[in-house]
Structure 1
Amino acid sequence: MTSPLRSTLDFLVHDWLQADSLTARERFADHSRETFGAVLDTCERIAREKYAPFNRTVDTQEPQFDGEKVILPQCTHDARLAYAESGMLSAAQDYALGGMQLPYLVESAANSFFACASISIGSNLLTTGNANAILVHGTPLQQQVFAANEFNGRWAGTMCLSEPQAGSSLSDIATRATGDGEGFEADPLGPRYRLRGNKMWISSGDHELTENIVHLVLAKIPGPDGKLVPGVKGISLFICPKHLVDTEGRLTGERNDVALAGLNHKLGWRGTTNTLLNFGEGRHPVRGSAGAIGYLVGQPGEGLKCMFHMMNEARISIGMAATMLGLAGYYASLDYAKTRLQGRPVGSGGKDASAPQVRLIEHADVKRMLLAQKSYCEGALALNLYCARLVDEGRTGQGQAAADARLLLEVLTPIAKSWPSEFCLEANSLAIQIHGGYGYTRDFPVEQYWRDNRLNMIHEGTHGIQAADLLGRKVVMQGGAGLQLLARTVGATIAQARQTPELAPYAQQLEQALQEVGAATQAAWATGNPGEALANAVPYMQAFGHVVLAWVWLDVAHVVLSQDASLSIAANAGRMGACRYFFHYELPRIGAWLQVVRQRDATCAALAEDAF
């Protein structure tokens, strides 16, 4: 029997996003709908067998540090090995790297099974993102030694940005990188530096799952006067392996001067090790002196440019993680609502205690909560897969189509990360509500889904940072070209939907909402004062995201109504119901959000500190 998630993925990937058409391109010519399906089958099976049964295990058996190494439950080792052996670490990479040359769309869809089954076991995104950053910015030898061994599963990867005194404020990092003696520029693995500093919130920063861990570290190279350059201009990027290696990728037997300072014990994602790392403190002196050895990636001072290649990828993955946690909660609460007997229907003998109880799903308010979850989570899944499709178009498309895809992805990335992080978390809250008191206990998984999902509004750029990026940069860059492109893209869907009587009212509603967002954008920047414009960036992002999701649902609904009878009536009815819910209950909310944006309301920004 096809699972609900697989049914939804098949519809979105094939019927809505037309993944099969990608096989006409040279890069994907060896593939077909059948090979795509085989990949999904494999990942669904591994997730079902190696991940899902142990989601509670890794939540209760947190990583432990015994003073020498990090201890993880055996199920984490088994799941990671199964994932690596499946080839999914290099699924979208070239054949020459051992990859499958899959479309990123299919890779994203396949990875969703792991995120839904157990997000904290299935957190492999940093290894892939790390390797991709090295592929783009590293030297050929760095690609061969480090990226290739991450893609084949031998090694894992991290990104080391934040520091205890500098969380999201990367301009304030203090980790230093100094040249490692005479001729340090001539090391075949790259200019060799000594790193000294402390890094915080490093996911998978230490473990025994792989033989080596490749840290990508942001650090500042001091100027001629020995002082660090203020701001972000002096930040460079370094490859800093846990164990030193030679040019053939063999471990030399030398431990790098990277020490685990402690583990962070978290609200959720407890199965993923999260660490404080000290670089160059001298606990593991290497080659006669303290200082972790790191190899420069790219050019000095261009560390953020290199790292943000990885971070943008991670942000889309975080949106997918939030989505899948929301869907996991939706599926659990739907199953509970279909089986749990509770009360009697209003208006039909509800006060007659002798009448039989009805299932929760027969109550209108429970249906409201289920439909809200469905509209949030399936809509977010559609959005994130659409963004994955844009990645493929940007990489393999031609001319203007490829350029437009890259620009549209730039505008949508803050939404793809932030909107699921907020509203799929709300879906998890509704899943708890449907379970009632049981939902607040550990007898059911919905409380864990909420705890796991709460992280996604924080990491890889907080909600406020994403909002500032959207209103402060993305919608105004290139003279507003990205926003104009999105408006034209949405407008094309509106024009199509107008031709279908059932969708025409929604097309009109979406057109009005789109105009309101455009007017609010102009009003926010009317004075040219960033402080005024960005004071209400989060309400702006909430409204913007709701308009984007309404567009996604309208486009999905148009495809549903254009389909033949090959899709199940129930699945179609559910998608249409979710679309109606979003337009009736959600899209009208944008008025209040945009009002404070248009007025450049200073209620929050202007309140004196002592008034709090």
Structure 2
Amino acid sequence: MSFRDTLDFLLYDWLNVETLTARERFADHSRETFTSVFDTCERIAREKFVPFNRLADTEEPHFDGERVVQPQAAHDAAKAFVESGMLAAAQDAEMGGMQLPCVIEMAANSFFSKASIGLGGGAMLTSGNANLLMAHGTEAQKDVFAKNEFSGRFFGTMCLSEPQAGSSLSDIVTRAVPDGEGAGSDPLGPRYRLRGNKMWISNGEHELAENIVHLVLAKIPGSDGQLVPGTKGISLFIVPKKLVDTDGALTGERNDVALAGLNHKLGYRGIPNTLLNFGEGKYPVRGGAGAIGYLVGRPGDGLRNMFHMMNEARIGVGLGATMLGYAGFEASLDYARQRPQGRPVAVGGKDASRPQVPIVQHADVRRMLLAQKAYCEGAMALALQCAHLVDEHHTGDAAAAAEAGLLLDMLTPIAKSWPSEWCLEANSLAIQVLGGYGYTRDYPVEQYWRDNRLNMIHEGTHGIQGLDLLGRKVVMDGGRGFALLASRVEATIARAKARPALAPFAESLAGTWAALAKATQAAWSTGVPEEALANATPYLQAFGHTALAWVWLDVALTAHAAPDSDTARGLRQAAQFFFRYELPKVPAWLAVVESRDDTCRQMQEAWF
């Protein structure tokens, strides 16, 4: 079986995405058009991305004093991606889009992530940036900035973190002040001057497009000139690298956005990661000091608006982590099938006179391969399910859309965090399958691990996702989201109990879900956030494994009902592995949550 076989099974047999074509927005599509999109993306990924994945790692971007230099392969890959139309794949036809469902768009992008995530990462940022502007920007901002991003003339970034603030966005100090008397009448939106520094900006400086559209979080000072503390004072601004007119044409004037340095990363090297200075005078703009920025939405709504991009990016990060895990799985499986070593265990000992066998025949190697398969294909199912919920949220009837939005709130922390932890573990197992060779640069699995290690950090670390899940999502609206997810899990359990082969797994999931619900309640039983949230990360891990058990049980139901094939048999076996090897890990994580264990909270700094 192949990756494409598994993808098709999950899309068409499990999620039944062909039914989306009955909706007005997707009426021009069919399985044939979806297949054509996948064929195109798979071909471009194979020709323009795969051969240069190692090159993007070894010839990482560097600054020559004037510009960021990247290998020609990076330019060719970006050009091919733009020409594919995938930047605007989900957009209206009037915006140059294909009106593809989100689930098809994300599935198509998975080919690029698997081929070379470093070469393809900028595209995700650009489409996410433009999608945010489509949701919250003015008509002029959509026409001038978003439309040019969808066409590939401009690329986009998101600028949140600062050197002194990191993930603590309430502590950002980038300032934005109105740009003179005519600031409020600019056709591109209320015009401001920004000054400050932003850190960890992927694709913050490059030569792959005519312009770079930075979406920047900054604070507007109050009447006393002071910044409002906390997140309520944060606003969102469009700050282009090069200034444009109302038709989107470059004016020839550089905005005061300057590269302060490049971050030299463990992996994910194909995309430049930057420190940017805004408004520090390197490129003075006529009429005042500071970088020119245009307000998006209302003052003070910056963080809420930015979450439109961040939530979409979190699902994308999870899918990217999944594809890196899958690439390692494929590489280690191919190696295990070809590498002869050892002989089968037999009564009376091994017969040294017999020829060696491929290592795939050894039970422990199969364990490591099966674990990779369970992690990566389970994570892929989860990501596609979330993308399908995005389609339901935007095109379903009112009731279905509301439920989809609530389920997305619950599952997004898992869709980001679970693949980034367990598909990284898959990469580690891929190295182990190759043994000493896996630890060398002669094989790609070590690079996949290095590339994937970023995914537990960016777009919200594990700790942040855990705090979001236990501190906000499971208790919001009196636990409505948790209750809705519980009803979906219970429905799957009920269906599985009717199948003798799956009934034991259904019982296991029922017991684990009950334990999760009990631990959730116990964590908050004292009403003291410090006690409840001290073990938010083990809670995230327990919740994630439980959610993946639900996904695997649902996939297994389809696999058992499908015609027998290697794909269906492989999915059934992966589901069995997950229930027998992985789900039993949950009680240990829940134990510290339920007891509100204070081991970590009581540890004193001096004791380290």
Residues 583 and 184 of structure 1, relative CA distance in 2, 3 Å threshold: same
Q: Determine helix, strand or coil for the equivalent of 1:118.
A: helix
- Which of 591, 607, 610 does residue 603 from structure 2 map onto? 607
Please give the residue correspondences for 1:178-577 in structure 2 after superposition, counting only pairs within 5 Å. Answer: 178-347=177-346, 351-565=350-564, 569-577=565-573
Q: Paired residues, what number?
A: 607
- Counterpart of 1:118 in structure 2: which amino acid? S
For normalisation by structure 1, the TM-score amounts to 0.98
Residues 288 and 399 of structure 1, relative CA distance in 2, 3 Å threshold: closer
CA–CA distance in structure 2, aligned partners of residues 250 and 129 of structure 1 = 22
Question: Is the Cα contact below 8 Å between 1:340 and 1:359 reproduced in 2?
Answer: yes
CA–CA distance in structure 1, aligned partners of residues 348 and 218 of structure 2 = 70
CA–CA distance in structure 1, aligned partners of residues 401 and 262 of structure 2 = 43
1:349 positional shift: 6.3
Question: Is the Cα contact below 8 Å between 2:174 and 2:196 reproduced in 1?
Answer: yes
CA–CA distance in structure 2, aligned partners of residues 84 and 104 of structure 1 = 18
- Which of 57, 60, 68 does residue 59 from structure 1 map onto? 57
Question: Is the Cα contact below 8 Å between 2:197 and 2:278 reproduced in 1?
Answer: yes
- Which of 37, 41, 44 does residue 42 from structure 2 map onto? 44
CA–CA distance in structure 2, aligned partners of residues 312 and 60 of structure 1 = 31
What are the superposed Cα offsets for residues 407-443 of structure 1, whole Å, 9 maximum, x if unpaired? 0011000000000000000000000000000000000
Partner of 2:78: 80
What are the superposed Cα offsets for residues 195-223 of structure 1, whole Å, 9 maximum, x if unpaired? 00000000000000000000000011111
Question: Is the Cα contact below 8 Å between 2:379 and 2:419 reproduced in 1?
Answer: yes
For normalisation by structure 2, the TM-score amounts to 0.99
CA–CA distance in structure 2, aligned partners of residues 69 and 290 of structure 1 = 23
Residue identity over aligned pairs, in percent, reads 70
Q: Determine helix, strand or coil for the equivalent of 1:277.
A: strand
Please give the residue correspondences for 1:570-585 in structure 2 after superposition, counting only pairs within 5 Å. Answer: 570-585=566-581
CA–CA distance in structure 2, aligned partners of residues 136 and 32 of structure 1 = 27
Question: Is the Cα contact below 8 Å between 2:90 and 2:102 reproduced in 1?
Answer: yes
CA–CA distance in structure 1, aligned partners of residues 605 and 549 of structure 2 = 38
- Counterpart of 2:473 in structure 1: which amino acid? K
CA–CA distance in structure 2, aligned partners of residues 345 and 482 of structure 1 = 51
CA–CA distance in structure 2, aligned partners of residues 380 and 366 of structure 1 = 21
Question: Is the Cα contact below 8 Å between 2:559 and 2:569 reproduced in 1?
Answer: no
What are the superposed Cα offsets for residues 377-433 of structure 1, whole Å, 9 maximum, x if unpaired? 000000000000000000000021111011001100000000000000000000000
CA–CA distance in structure 1, aligned partners of residues 57 and 304 of structure 2 = 35
1:351 positional shift: 4.0
Question: Is the Cα contact below 8 Å between 1:135 and 1:143 reproduced in 2?
Answer: yes
1:17 positional shift: 0.5
- Counterpart of 1:213 in structure 2: which amino acid? I
Partner of 1:93: 91
1:290 positional shift: 2.9
CA–CA distance in structure 1, aligned partners of residues 526 and 580 of structure 2 = 34
Q: Determine helix, strand or coil for the equivalent of 1:92.
A: coil
Q: Determine helix, strand or coil for the equivalent of 2:117.
A: coil
CA–CA distance in structure 2, aligned partners of residues 7 and 112 of structure 1 = 14
Q: Determine helix, strand or coil for the equivalent of 2:538.
A: helix
Q: Determine helix, strand or coil for the equivalent of 2:394.
A: helix
Question: Is the Cα contact below 8 Å between 2:196 and 2:278 reproduced in 1?
Answer: yes
CA–CA distance in structure 2, aligned partners of residues 463 and 610 of structure 1 = 25
- Counterpart of 1:558 in structure 2: which amino acid? L
Partner of 1:126: 125
Residue 594 in 1 paired to residue 579 in 2?
no
- Counterpart of 2:429 in structure 1: which amino acid? L
CA–CA distance in structure 1, aligned partners of residues 414 and 40 of structure 2 = 30
Question: Is the Cα contact below 8 Å between 1:127 and 1:157 reproduced in 2?
Answer: yes
Structure 1: segments with no counterpart, 5+ residues: none
1:144 positional shift: 0.6
1:563 positional shift: 1.5
What are the superposed Cα offsets for residues 560-607 of structure 1, whole Å, 9 maximum, x if unpaired? 111235xxx211111111011000000011010000000000000111
Residues 403 and 53 of structure 1, relative CA distance in 2, 3 Å threshold: same
What are the superposed Cα offsets for residues 23-64 of structure 1, whole Å, 9 maximum, x if unpaired? 000000000010011001100100011000100000000001
- Counterpart of 2:604 in structure 1: which amino acid? A
Q: Determine helix, strand or coil for the equivalent of 1:400.
A: helix
CA–CA distance in structure 1, aligned partners of residues 461 and 598 of structure 2 = 22
Question: Is the Cα contact below 8 Å between 1:320 and 1:420 reproduced in 2?
Answer: yes
Partner of 1:153: 152
What are the superposed Cα offsets for residues 106-159 of structure 1, whole Å, 9 maximum, x if unpaired? 001000000000000011111011001111111110011000000011100000
Q: Determine helix, strand or coil for the equivalent of 1:581.
A: helix
CA–CA distance in structure 2, aligned partners of residues 137 and 447 of structure 1 = 41
1:345 positional shift: 1.9
1:458 positional shift: 0.2
